Amino acid sequence: MKKLIIMLMTIFFTNIVIAQDMRQNAFVSLFSDQKASRVGDAITIVVIEFSQASNNAQTTTGRSSDIGFNAGGNIAGSELPGTDVSFGVTNDFRGSGSTKTSGMMRTKISATIDSVLENGNLLIKGSRKIVINGEEQTIFIRGIVRTTDIDPNNSVLSYNISEAEIRIEGSGRIADSQSPGWLTKLFHWLF
């Protein structure tokens, strides 16, 4: 009888000590795969970005000033030559400018969860390097994702990332030929 009571007490206290936290299993489903929610979990970012901006400005200013002096007279019936002085200033300015830019990017990047914020949002970051014929292109992405925006297949659309930073950097012969030489950079710096 004593052994039975000791065994029941051991089982009871073991369950208390090894009890599971229900918050740990909140993202686990019996019917689907586990969603990314912990540091180090992989997540797929589907980047679909399209940006377009335009700006037009026109300025017209004008200023005009005229000063005139006219004198004439006569002394004892003889007429003095007339004097005429005139001064005029005109200042006109017309300016216009416009800018227009557009860009589009579509890709998929795997990222990892870097940290979990206090409110449960996830800080993610990742990169992908592609090298074709000596041309290297690297895509970096980072931002904050809500766990509710993560699809069941552990992917999230880029427009659901807050504070998103998507950067594309390239190097190689084509990138080198598109940048000005050091002499041109020197002249731009001086003038």
Token look-up 């699809």 returns 151
Whose CA is closest to 138, among 104, 109, 164?
109
Q: Report how far residue 168's alpha carbon sits from residue 96's, in angstroms, rounded to the nearest whole number.
A: 32
Sheet with 162-171: list strands edge to edge: 155-157, 42-75, 78-116, 122-132, 135-145, 162-171
Of residues 131 and 70, the one with the higher pLDDT is 131
> Is residue 86 predicted with pLDDT exceeding 60?
yes
Number of H helices, E strands in the chain: 3, 6
- In whole angstroms, give the CA distance from residue 158 to residue 126: 13
36-62: pLDDT as tens digits: 778 888 898 998 887 788 888 877 777
pLDDT band at 69 (very low <50, low <70, confident <90, very high): low
| Residue 37 near residue 146, CB atoms below 8 Å | no
Give residues with Cβ within 8 angstroms of 121, minimum separation 6: 144, 145, 146, 147
pLDDT band at 177 (very low <50, low <70, confident <90, very high): low
Give dist(CA 182, CA 180) in Å, integer: 7
Which helix (H) or strand (E) is 8 found in, with range? helix 2-17
User: Is the model's pLDDT at 30 over the cut of 80?
Assistant: no
